[in-house]
Amino acid sequence: MACTTILVGRGASYDGSTIIARNEDDEPGSFNNKKLIIVRPEDQPRTYTSVNGHLTIELPDNPLQYSETPNSFTSAGVWGEAGINEANVAMTATETITSNARVLGADPLVPYTPAIGKPGDANYVPAVAGGIGEEDLVTIVLPYIHTAREGVERLGSLLEEYGTYESNGIGFADSHEVWWIETVGGHHWIARRVPDDCYVVNPNRLGIDEFDFEDAFGEQRDYMCSADLREFMRMHHLDVDYALEGQFDPRDAFGSHSDMDHVYNTPRAWMIERYFNPLDETWEGPDADLTPSSDDIPWCRQPDHKITIEDIDYALAMHYQGTKFDPYGKLGTEATRHLYRPAGINRTCERSIMQIRPYAPQADRAIHWITFAATPFNATVPFFANVDAMPDYVSNTTPEVTLDSYYWASRFLAVLGDSDYSGTAEPIAHYKQTVAALGHQMVFATDEQLARLGGKDTRAAAAREREDEEESLPADVEPMKPADVVKATRNEKTREVLAAANENMAKQLKAQTQTILAQCLQATSVNMKDAFSMADF
């Protein structure tokens, strides 16, 4: 998939949450129909066979429940993409990334190899299963982890055992940490913890640009990697830096620096970091510090202001507004307006923003914000993840096109907005803000309701601004061992409250979406090219 990822450490977010988000973008000309569902433990397979890799894996017998955004029609695989499990661990998988010939030659990818001939033939060669890939990862990792760090460890071990047929980046978050893992060839990998006060932008290229081997093979506070990575690099001469002893840039060694990067990948990093850090660099002009084609745009950095859900929504919907590269703008020329690949693109299937809130009780701290279809035109809406089922409006994406589905309604709205951008931009902006406001209102009201139900005021706890004594970061108001977290999130009364809140949110979302569709249909109808009236004589 061709996607864009943003990761936010708890010290860089507006409320102390960890946040991981990604646009799931399909291939050109393709649109996977998506839904937001809950996978119960009894529905999780114990023996998993992939469609693309033809690989069969035996899975543990103790899965956790989790949310996910799979394809609605699973003939090509599950493609779970993003979710939060009932241990309050979020996962986004995957960001397709790039590599280079040296790495892929040293550790080749592991594609499925079809059989040659038929059994019994003299020249028969049996099929060989491929490795794991994007289709599989949420299904085989998320139900079995209790922390973000465990996510890296489980996925790393699976990569070493089975290999992969594609290069990918994967994000994990719990209430304390955000981790990012990138594959290196077919079986190797590196991972870095996002610094608490930083955010990450990762657009379809290997991103990590700093790595500490001493930590990775020691305390593993901020870095992890496959066990033989140093020997692998030494054997295949993969370190190309003149760096000082102990410093290493994985992007230089394992990544790409192609012409395609400079129109497809680096411009998105430039655009989004320019938005989050307008004061730190000269972004345009002959004296620019960084340009759309810069290869050294930082993987992570501290933002100029703390990042909100709305900031992420805007950043992942960006199409170079205010520059000559905006396809809907009036600056520049027709050539410049279509020079670079935007983050907000027509072929987005879904966009998940997953928020783990340390100031909320374990039972309701996990929120899965969902957007379907092209993000410049569609709203992001919150749903509590620890429920038994998601509302029908977001979970029942049928083969039949219907406005009773948020997915299909979003596809319609995107087409209307794109066809008459100037005529629909204002009402769509109002719609997006209205839905976001209703979402925040729903979350706040539900927190209050659960505080009363539980007999304690969690809002008062949040107002006390408890901090981690060592790092001056928001502290966990309800610290628990992983097993106790799962017990708390399985509380039946709490789940009933969260489910009712989700249903009410879906009802309001549907009403707002029907209204904006009617408004945009009217606007685009008035501005149709075959319009004519007597006043035109």
Query: In Å, how far are 65, 424, 428, 445, 528 from 521, measured between CA atoms?
Result: 40, 9, 12, 33, 11
For residue 193, what are the β-bridge partners? 179
Percentage of the residues of the chain whose pLDDT score is greater than 90: 89
Residue 56 predicted with pLDDT over 50: yes
- Chain centroid to Cα 534, Å, comes to 52
pLDDT category at 465 given cuts 50, 70, 90 is: very low
55-59, 100-104, 504-508, 532-536: least confident range: 532-536
Q: How far apart are CA 443 and CA 432, in angstroms?
A: 17
115-129, 184-198, 459-473, 480-494: least confident range: 459-473
375-384, 389-398, 454-463: least confident range: 454-463
* Sheet with 178-184, side-by-side order of all strands: 82-84, 90-96, 168-173, 178-184, 188-193, 223-225
Residue 329 predicted with pLDDT over 80: yes
Q: How far apart are CA 25 and CA 31, in angstroms?
A: 8
208-212, 328-332, 471-475: least confident range: 471-475
Answer yes or no: are the C-beta atoms of 138 and 298 closer than 8 Å.
Answer: no
pLDDT category at 460 given cuts 50, 70, 90 is: low
Residue 245 predicted with pLDDT over 80: no
The predicted structure's pLDDT at residue 423:
95
Answer yes or no: are the C-beta atoms of 489 and 387 closer than 8 Å.
Answer: no
Structure tokens at 436: 């976001």
Query: In Å, how far are 136, 327, 336, 341, 475 from 264, measured between CA atoms?
Result: 26, 15, 14, 5, 39
**Which H or E element spans position 505?**
helix 492-526
Give every CB contact of residue 341 below 8 A, 6+ residues apart in sequence: 263, 264, 265, 267, 268
The predicted structure's pLDDT at residue 456:
54
Percentage of the residues of the chain whose pLDDT score is greater than 70: 95
Q: How far apart are CA 426 and CA 40, in angstroms?
A: 41
Structure tokens at 407: 């997915």
Instruction: Read off the pLDDT of each residue in 399-413 and give the average, rounded to a whole number.
Output: 97
The predicted structure's pLDDT at residue 464:
45
Catalytic (active-site) positions: 3
The predicted structure's pLDDT at residue 462:
47
Instruction: Read off the pLDDT of each residue in 361-381 and give the average, rounded to a whole number.
Output: 98
Tell me the whole-structure pTM to 2 decimals: 0.96
- Report pLDDT digits (tens) over 131-159: 999 999 999 999 999 999 999 999 999 99
Structure tokens at 289: 């510090």
Structure tokens at 467: 């901090």
Q: How far apart are CA 84 and CA 356, in angstroms?
A: 9
The predicted structure's pLDDT at residue 29:
83
For 27-156, strand residue ranges (E) read: 37-39, 47-49, 56-58, 66-68, 82-84, 90-96
**Which H or E element spans position 413?**
helix 406-419
Instruction: Read off the pLDDT of each residue in 239-244 and give the average, rounded to a whole number.
Output: 74
Specify the 3-state DSSP secondary structure of 8. strand
- Residue with more model confidence, 118 or 465: 118
The predicted structure's pLDDT at residue 470:
53
Picking from 359, 362, 382, the residue whose alpha carbon sits closest to that of residue 494 is 362
Q: What average pLDDT does the structure give for the chain?
A: 94
Answer yes or no: are the C-beta atoms of 189 and 159 closer than 8 Å.
Answer: yes
Structure tokens at 535: 């006043």
